[in-house]
Amino acid sequence: MRKIFITGIGTDVGKTVVAAIVTEALKADYWKPIQAGDLEFSDTDRVRSWVTNDQSVFHPNSYALQTPMSPHAAAEIDGIRIQLNKIQAPLTSNDLVIEGAGGLLVPLNEKDTIQDLIQDDYKILVVARNYLGSINHTLLTLDALRARGRQVSGVIFNGEEVPSTESIVETLGGVPVLGRLDWAENMDAAVVSKYAELLRPKLENLR
């Protein structure tokens, strides 16, 4: 059983879509420890609506916060403080896909960030969306992970193909680029299934 942590180079880069694809490809369980806002149709609900296999289990959030803000601020509005010891990965014999919130250094409280959710045995996938400045953001994310002694299993890109971006991230970042998704405004189960088939061989052999 593997735990695969999905982080991104920022907000709105496609973490939830990638999490759904990995969940579908591996017939894995899915867990988002912290949801901030959109509780009426959360990221867990989205992933559940896109995944069609009958083996995946969708585990509840450790924290479900009302306001779409940084978790530390959303928690303050709700009158609580996020505590790491209350965020425990669900027990499962299946592979588990774990989706972060925002980027790697998004604060959970006055001292902890999303990065503190990543355990030593987690496989890490970084999601990058092609835009001006994304090379810098991607390499900074990889450097932050390495500074903690974390090994990154790969990068998945979103958006229009930019070969020069993908190749320089692979070279300077020292990580494999596992694939790229065409950004789909109307995401659905069929799109997730298509990319799950394409990426399954690489995902099954994550290091």
pLDDT of residue 160: 87
- Please measure the distance between the N-terminal and C-terminal CA atoms of the chain and give it in whole angstroms: 13
- Amino acid sitting at position 17: V
The domain in which residue 51 lies consists of 3-204
Q: Are 95 and 5 in contact (CB under 8 A)?
A: no
Active site residue 32: yes
32, 111, 123, 202: the active-site residue? 32
Residue 68's pLDDT is what? 95
pLDDT at 73: 97
Q: Are 203 and 22 contacting, i.e. CB atoms less than 8 angstroms apart? A: yes
Q: What is the pLDDT of residue 124?
A: 98
Task: Give the lowest-confidence range in 46-50, 160-164, 199-203.
Answer: 160-164
Q: Please say whether the beta carbons of 138 and 9 come within 8 A.
A: yes
46 phi and psi angles, rounded to 5 deg: -65, -50
Q: CATH no. for residue 59? A: 3.40.50.300
Q: What is the pLDDT of residue 196?
A: 97
pTM: 0.95
What pLDDT does residue 186 have? 80
Integer angstrom CA distances of residue 77 from 39, 70, 149 = 15, 11, 34
Q: How many domains does the chain have?
A: 1
- Give the whole-angstrom CA distance, residue 39 versus residue 167: 38
pLDDT in tens, 91-122: 999 999 999 999 999 999 999 999 999 999 99
3-class secondary-structure state, position 85: helix
Q: Which two tokens stand for residue 39?
A: 């509780």
